């Protein structure tokens, strides 16, 4: 269907949908969308098309998709001010960390910052630390990518490297999260970048969350922290973090997502990284396992466990799903789309079924022996 939208309004599109600009001009989070550009809005996602010149759209909606027009720009003025402030930093690389609870628009804000920086020829890296709703890498990982041109979504990027944490919530692996993000940041620092934008997870409430974010800020040493706050929900955290902090607003157009919708997005992402997967048999004596596994009774007791696969020099190759450990043949059978031969395997705590849907994990099947 065709939809005419006047200048100064915003067209909010909830996916799954496809949107094309037939005439006129619009922007999505700082990305210019001109004639004939087709934008896909993923299921569970919403994109704001701010009209800079009266536009005619061709909109194709799938089931459960929708759109609406709203007055003005859904990008808060504080986001624009934040982008301009960041451009004024002379230190290279400048590290900007973004915090806020879930569904406050952290990823949209990071995308907006990245687009503003690359539009003035700055070299930018995005470090994605939201392992439960990963955009740059697979679920259960923290990952980074270097950005050379404006983009609609961080999801478009291909990770240059990642660190497999193996869970979907940082509260289950605080030390590993901090280790992974610190390692990825150190790797980025060796590259020719001007800015590093660090997106973080939405765990901000409670003493554990406050301590975690404070430790993370201390370890990553950001030059500035952008805090997306709603109704003073970050007050305890703001009092704990000593770094330079700037509070920005959450967009009024941010779409709230249920836990079920978040799980659905993760499952779509598992499928993305497991497309064309085949079962591979890997000799145990040629693999380095992060943990010594105690395999109990049934041979398929750990079937479905999510795995992180690494090559040499801790290069992340991708994810896999455990099928079986053959004790007789001393092989590890993994369903994966990774074609390279892994040299190390990390076991996660998430279990997937044959359709890559998350199922309940029982830690009694596989025990870790760290001795």
> Distance between CA 258 and CA 255 in Å, rounded?
10
**Which comes out higher in pLDDT, residue 126 or 231?**
126
pLDDT number for residue 65: 94
* 2-71: CATH number: 2.60.120.1030
What pLDDT digit, counting tens, does each position of 211-220 carry?
Answer: 999 999 999 9
In this predicted structure, the answer to whether residue 360 has a pLDDT above a threshold of 80 is: no
**Which pLDDT belongs to residue 220?**
96
Mean of pLDDT values over 255-261 = 87
Q: Which residues contact 27 (CB under 8 A, 6 or more apart)?
A: 33, 49, 50, 52
- Tell me the Cα Rg of the chain: 22
Q: How confident is the model at residue 301 (pLDDT cuts 50, 70, 90)?
A: low
Averaged pLDDT, 276-281: 96
Which pLDDT band, with edges at 50, 70 and 90, does 368 fall under? very low
> DSSP code of 15?
B
With pLDDT > 90 as the criterion, what percentage of the chain qualifies?
Answer: 78
Coil, helix or strand at residue 229:
coil
Strand order in the sheet with 245-248: 161-164, 141-147, 124-129, 195-200, 94-99, 224-228, 245-248
Start-to-end CA span in the chain (Å)? 63
Which two three-digit tokens encode residue 369?
Answer: 């022996």
Q: What is the pLDDT of residue 367?
A: 36
Which one, of 275, 273, 293, lies nearest residue 345 by Cα?
293
| pLDDT of 364 over the 90 cut | no
366 vs 187, higher pLDDT? 187
Contacts 24+ apart (CB under 8 A), 230-236: 230/100, 230/101, 230/104, 233/101, 233/204, 233/205, 234/99, 234/100, 234/101, 234/204, 236/210
Mean pLDDT within 327-341 = 91
Q: Taking residues 165-169, report their average pLDDT.
A: 95
What proportion of the chain, given as a percentage, has pLDDT over 70?
A: 94
Least confident of 81-90, 189-198, 199-208, 360-369: 360-369
pLDDT digits (tens, 9 = 90+) for 67-120: 999 999 999 999 999 999 999 999 999 999 999 998 899 999 999 999 999 999
119-133, 282-296, 328-342, 356-370: which has the minimum mean pLDDT? 356-370
Helices then strands (H, E): number in the chain?
6, 23
What stretch of H or E contains 19?
Answer: strand 17-28
**Closest by Cα among 152, 161, 72, 142 to 114:** 152
pTM: 0.92
d(CA 112, CA 119) in angstroms, rounded, equals 11
Confirm or reject CATH 3.40.50.150 for domain 274-369, answering yes or no.
no
- pLDDT value, residue 362: 44
Between residues 307 and 44, the one the model is more confident about: 307
Q: How confident is the model at residue 291 (pLDDT cuts 50, 70, 90)?
A: low
- Residue-averaged pLDDT of the chain: 90
Q: What is the DSSP letter of 93?
A: S
Query: What confidence tier does 168 reach under pLDDT thresholds 50, 70, 90?
Result: very high
- Please determine, for residue 371, whether its predicted confidence score (pLDDT) is greater than 70: no
Bridge pairing between strands 224-228 and 94-99: parallel
Tell me which CATH code domain 77-248 carries: 3.40.50.300
Residues 234, 286: Cα–Cα separation, whole Å: 48
Contact assessment for residue 19 and residue 49, using Cβ atoms and an 8 Å cutoff:
yes
Give me the residue spans of the domains in the chain: 2-71, 77-248, 274-369
Model pLDDT, residue 185? 98
pLDDT of 243 above 90: no
State the Cα–Cα distance between residues 346 and 289, nearest whole angstrom.
6
The helix (run of H) or strand (run of E) holding residue 183 is helix 174-189
**Which whole number is the average pLDDT over 152-160?**
95
């Amino acid at each position: 269907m065709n939809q005419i939208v006047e200048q100064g309004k915003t067209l909010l599109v909830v996916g799954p949908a496809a949107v094309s600009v037939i005439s006129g001009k619009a922007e999505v989070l700082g990305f210019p969308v001109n004639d004939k550009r087709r934008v896909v809005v993923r299921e569970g996602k919403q994109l704001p098309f701010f009209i800079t010149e009266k536009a005619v759209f061709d909109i194709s909606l799938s089931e459960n998709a929708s759109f609406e027009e709203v007055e003005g720009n859904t990008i808060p003025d504080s986001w624009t001010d934040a982008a301009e402030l960041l451009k004024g930093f002379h230190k290279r690389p400048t590290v900007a960390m973004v915090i806020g609870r879930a569904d406050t628009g952290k990823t949209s804000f990071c995308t907006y910052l990245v687009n503003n920086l690359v539009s003035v020829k700055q070299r930018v890296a995005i470090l994605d630390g939201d392992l439960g709703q990963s955009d740059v890498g697979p679920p259960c990982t923290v990952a980074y990518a270097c950005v050379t041109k404006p983009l609609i979504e961080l999801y478009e990027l291909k990770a240059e490297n990642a660190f497999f944490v193996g869970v979907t919530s940082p509260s289950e692996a605080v030390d590993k999260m901090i280790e992974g993000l610190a390692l990825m940041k150190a790797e980025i620092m060796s590259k020719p970048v001007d800015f590093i934008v660090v997106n973080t997870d939405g765990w901000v409430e409670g003493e554990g969350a406050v301590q975690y974010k404070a430790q993370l800020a201390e370890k990553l040493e950001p030059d500035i922290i952008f805090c997306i706050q709603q109704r003073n929900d970050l007050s305890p955290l703001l009092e704990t973090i000593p770094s330079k902090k700037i509070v920005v607003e959450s967009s009024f157009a941010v779409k709230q997502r249920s836990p079920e919708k978040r799980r659905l997005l993760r499952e779509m992402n598992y499928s993305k990284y497991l497309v064309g997967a085949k079962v591979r048999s890997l000799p145990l004596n040629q693999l380095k396992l992060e943990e010594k596994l105690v395999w109990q009774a049934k041979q398929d007791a750990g079937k479905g466990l999510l795995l992180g696969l690494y090559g040499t020099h801790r290069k992340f190759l991708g994810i896999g799903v455990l099928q079986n450990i053959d004790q007789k043949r001393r092989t590890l059978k993994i369903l994966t789309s990774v074609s390279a031969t892994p040299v190390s395997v990390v076991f996660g705590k998430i279990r997937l079924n044959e359709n890559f849907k998350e199922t309940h994990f029982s830690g009694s099947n596989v025990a870790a022996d760290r001795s």
